[in-house]
Structure 1
């Protein structure tokens, strides 16, 4: 039974890596799935409904970030290799490109299974350390996994959006606050820049150095209540 969208691949592949001790996040810096285990380099998985050239190109692009890159797609009917190829052809091709391959088989009455076709092999293109560092930072600054890998044309929960929501939540609970107070409550050293840029238009300056919520900010807190629950810890009222 062919899948309808590539997002259906996300859950079984996430489970596959979590079973191996990884923490997994979806849609991190345009990567469909990122998995990190301890201090190891990040693993990136790109998802497509079927094996095709755009999937390979996407995988090659991710090699700029890490050497641990997989491409993943649904196992074709009856387990045959796609594009009238042999599985050994696909292994050889992806190994030459430095990519690993994962397939997902779906069933009517039981959970999907993930098969490791081949592991990534070293590729001559070295990852961009700066870009890779940004990927890892974005991963660790998110409090949880709020996106489904493979999503498109949807608002994504980024670390920046989370930080903005944290400030909005505190203002909702405590009233107007200064950047200094927010810095102490959130441990975000860049909170002044966040308030001044006001990218989402959630904040308004009530007086010099004092900010409060706009109606858009109130609406965002309601829209993202599934995220703001992580902020609901005992709050010490700001001086």
Structure 2
């Protein structure tokens, strides 16, 4: 059966850890869970059993009274176990440190995952390039921000496929090269062949027409 712990169970292991580093440590000072002092350095640690927005707001507020701020949660913290990478990225970006406490029946372990630090996120050039490519290729502002995934499907790729499908409404059968020349879509042949949305079907080598699925779905996008 999992050991049930309280916020106060995190206090003593952290106090012991800080005292071993030479800090003087006291609990519950002016609403701060832990205050530690070493020379002129003052740190504040906020204790919680779970990571949530209240804890983050509380920790950010402590910058007005301390040099360094830490958040401390138990190792069993659900959101940390499931989304450790994202949680660490968020806390780092706030300039806050993170402490994990492993509370067991006979002993406790304290791990300083990272100290407070200035955080400059590294850009993912590949993802940024894909974002800007979609932005540039999208014709108009086709989706409201916050739309559900089911409705947020009018990508630049789909827009280009729609143009190909529209041509096949006027010319029931056509080759990719013909469509390319007629509407100026350089990848018409690739769209027909890939048939990502199931809108096209091959009639004969190189010749395509709209599928039943295409005929039924196309009006929803026009």
TM-score by length of 2: 0.49
Larger Rg: 2
Q: Does 1 or 2 have the higher relative contact order (CA < 8 Å, sep 6+)?
A: 1
TM-score by length of 1: 0.46
